[in-house]
Structure formats: C-alpha cells, structure tokens
Structure 1
Amino acid sequence: MRKKIVIGTRSSKLALWQAEYVADRLRKQYEGLEVELMHIVTKGDKILDVPLAKIGGKGLFTKELEVAMLEKRVDLAVHSLKDMPTVLPTGLSLTTITKRLDCGDALVSPKYKTLENLPQGAKVGTSSLRRKAQLLKARPDLDIHSLRGNVNTRLRKLEEENFDAIVLAVAGLKRLGFGDKITQIIPREICLPAVGQGALAIETREDDEEIKQMLEFLHDDKTADATKAERSFLARVEGGCQVPVGVYAQVEDDDNLSVEAVIGSIDGKCIIRDKIIGSRANAKTLGKDLAEKLLANGGLKIMQSLGLCCPDENAQ
C-alpha cells in the first residue's frame, strides 16, 4: 500500500476543510499513512470582481487541480461536487462521492427571519443565476446583486455592503461552523439546489487503481446514484456556460429514485419545473429524460432567449 498521498486543494477555508476531512479519514483508515496537502490557485479564485456567469461556469475551480493530477504532482483532488464539470479531462476519473450533507440554500440576514419577511425591494446578494431565477419567481420585487468571494468574505460583505440578506449553501456554512448564522433554510419548493450541492467529489487519475481502492470506504452509493441523475440532467441541458437550472434527486427507497428539476429565466418570470421517479439502476437515464421533458415544455425556449446553446441530443 502507498505510504504517502498528496491531495490537491484550493486555499479557501471551505476547500481546506474539505481536503482536511478527506485527509483525516484516510489517516484513520490506514495507520502510518502520510497525507500532504498541496495548495493550488484556480481561475475562479483569481477573478473575484466579475460574476461567474460572465467568465464561464465550467472548470473555474477545478482545471488547475486537474493539471496537477495529470502531471502527477498530486494523487487526488477534493472538490465540491457542484463545482465539477459534467465532462472530465481524458485520463481523470470521478472516483468517490461522499455522503451528502444538507443540500439546501440558506438565507442569512441580520434582521429578517425568512424570505417572506424581507421588505419590499430588499437588497439580496448571490452569485448564482440559479438562485436569482428562483428567488425572483417567489419574490419578484427583490433587488438582487452579484456577490462573489469565499464564505467568510460574503458574510463580511453582508454587513459592509448593507445587504438585507445573502444566500449561501447550507453545507458550506455548517462545515465552517457558521450554522448559527442561518436564518432560514429556503424550502426546496421555492429553490432547488445546484447539481451535487452538499456532496464532496474526489477526482483521481483513471489508471491509479491503488488510490481508487484506498478511497472506496468513503464512497456513498445513495448519494452517487442521486448525483449521477443530477449530473446527467445538467449534461443534457448545459451549453458551455453557467445555466439557470436547479435539480435535486433522492433515493426514495432501496430501488427508486426521484428527480426534480427547474429551468428558469433569470428574471424569474418563466419557470419550467417537473419531477420524475424511476429505478435507481437507471439514474443516468432518469436525469436525461427529465431534461428532455423540461426542454420540450419550454426550457429550450428559455435557454435560447438567454443566448445559451443547448447541445443537440444527437451530438451527445
């Protein structure tokens, strides 16, 4: 068995928490194993003054880590699954999906307890088109502003820039010890999460069988099946840039999986939402079938109106 493992990670506090979590689990599982963290700066970490949608959503927080793996400077990389592109570089594999923590979105506000309680025209911060579209569907009066930066930075900006509220992932807040700052976990009826939100992904070289075997104990089958459906949905609808979609899949029992998704216009005026239930064994097909359904029922028209190119099914 390998005596040392190098994990590639971004340097944000949340990324380091995630990498340290995996490192600690590995050390406890394999006595005497040395685990080292290599900090790597990604494009998404460098560009903080431009909304994500304007610089492209694919690989912003993963590409440099993947290069380090292909060059064998690191053995694996730990990501938030929601940051992972649906297509990986040749030679790399999405090896392990950890058990998902709370996948929801959190409202954080110094004055107001719920989304419903926010005053007319309230200033709300988020960097996500997905959140913006769904929030405006529920509250078209909101004044939504782009908010970039890591969790600590966004919490600081909440007060410094006079936001009435900001919206962040529940999992990130809880992992960093900020769970007490959550004012409301926004109901999924209002806001479906991003693909893979709340789960960690471990990426390795495709041919590194030893590392893949060493990581097997961290893999969660239920989360893997659910997120497989979510990623299949996104793979069908995305066209190379950030797409205003939300999707959530969950195992209903040992055999079945439900998948719910939304495609929305950024102003929230047009929201296409539906749900599908089927066998866990067909997780990938379920995600794709739901995508086809939403696209046919108006989702494609929404994306075309936004200038987003939905790939032709025949090109898949």
Structure 2
Amino acid sequence: MALSLCRTTVDDSARELMEHGTAAFPIACYHDDLQAEPVPWHWHEELEVLVVSEGMILATAGGEKFRLEKGEGLFINAGVLHGDWPLNAGSCRLHSMVFHPRLVGGNPDSVFWQKYLQPLLTDPSRPCAVLRPTVDWQHEAIEDMERAFRAVVNEIPGYEFKTRAALSEMIFQLVSHAPAVQAMPKKALRNADRIKTMLQFIQEHYAEDISVEQVASSASISPSECLRCFHDMIGTTPNQYLRDQRAQRAAELLCGTGLRVTEIAMQCGFQDASYFARAFRQVYGCGPTEYRRKA
C-alpha cells in the first residue's frame, strides 16, 4: 500500500471526507510535511495515531494542546476535532495511521468490540492520549503503531494479520492505562459540540458578510461565550477562522479554475481586493498570483 500525503478535505461540519483504506481493509498510512501544509481542523469516525518524525509540532485534540518532539506521538479517538501545526522553522514532519475501529474490534457483538473497543469509543474522558517513549506503556504503544505502519506500507507477507495484531496490542495498552490527559470536563464536552456547530455555520456561510453575533447565534450562545469557546477549543477567533476558510477556498479556486483573482476574492467573501491579498499572504506566505504561479 503506497504511503500518501494527507490532503484533508472536510464537509460543512469539519468532518473529513477522505476514505481511509478500503471496506475490506479500512486503514491508511500518511506522512505530512507541516511546513509545507499544516493539518487543518477536522474530525472523523476512525481512530488515529501519529508520531513525530522530524522537528516539533503543536498537536491539538479535544480542546487540549500538546507540544510533541521527534519520537513522541498522540492517539486521537473517534469523533474528536483535531489539527497539527509546526513549532520550529526547520523540517517538521509526522507520520500517521487512520483506521476504523472494526479493523481491531470486528463484529460489534464480539468480545473484542464489547470488552475493549466500546469502552474506549464511548468514554468522554478519553478524547486523546499522549504517547511519550519515556513512559513504558506509551513506548510500547508507539512501537505497536510503528510495526503496524511498516506492515501496511511495505505490504510484507501476511501484513493484514500483522497490522491487526500490532494495532490490537496498541489498543490494549490504551484501554489498560489511564490516558495521559485529564478527564475532559463537562464544559469542554459542551464546547466540543458547540464548536462543531459554529464551524459548520462558517463553512456554509463563509462567502457571506457574517458577524461574530451570527456565529454565536448558530450555537445559541452569546458572542462573548463564542469567543471563549473558539479560544479554548481551537486557539483562535471566529474572524481568524473565517479568514482562513476563505483563504483555503480561494487557494482551491486559484489552482483548480481559470477565474480572475478579483472574481475569486468576491466568491470567497473578500469584498476588498487589497485585503484579500493581505489575508491570503498571512495564511499562505505569498500573494494569490504568486500562489497560482507556483501551483
């Protein structure tokens, strides 16, 4: 199975649209160069585990932020909003596996699902777990992930069995030990639902002239609570997130269409061409015309 760059595309609720693997073997391996393209906010029904291969990254999941160095990793539970960004100026890379729980758990009536997968999937106190090689069980979990990763990428004989066995050992480590983060408080759980609702509103209305008040209203909260929720859950403001989404859509149109830059700006909600150029440069490090030329 080829190792792929992870091109994250999402729907209106920030749910990832990419299919990971196949129905018969629902797992895929990825590598990401975060200096070239950070992993944006998204969530999916699959489980994910990542390990930093170069540099230092800021990994965020379930309202928590983690500084991870080379050799350190993070397990991310199903349905948890997460993203990854570089923390140093040099090379900054990670590799990851995204897999459906049924690959390990099998049939929902099985002992594997009932005894191990179901408690993990339904425990709101386990949105994620840091994996550091200095902790014995976490070191073992990282080694399990790496064995599964190599088996899938290299397609060694019997790799399907070897992959499932390694991931089963990793899940057992996670279920058998308390996660390396504190239990997710009720407020964070409530905010996780609110942020998904507000991200969906922004995705649906990014081309319009929307306000913080409108974003807040979509989740039935006050503007001040909206600002706190964005700050706590994804470390930014509604306006900054809106700018980034508009710039991301503009980048897609610059690469995939022959529309004029001014037309793209208008379609993406930028009413002023000069502001569009400044905002786009803040996100991508270059102007729209230069970005199109490089693509």
TM-score class normalised by the smaller sequence = under 0.3
Normalised by the size of structure 1, how large is the TM-score? 0.25
Q: Identify the structure with the greater strand proportion.
A: 1
The structure with higher relative contact order (CA 8 Å, sep 6+) is 1
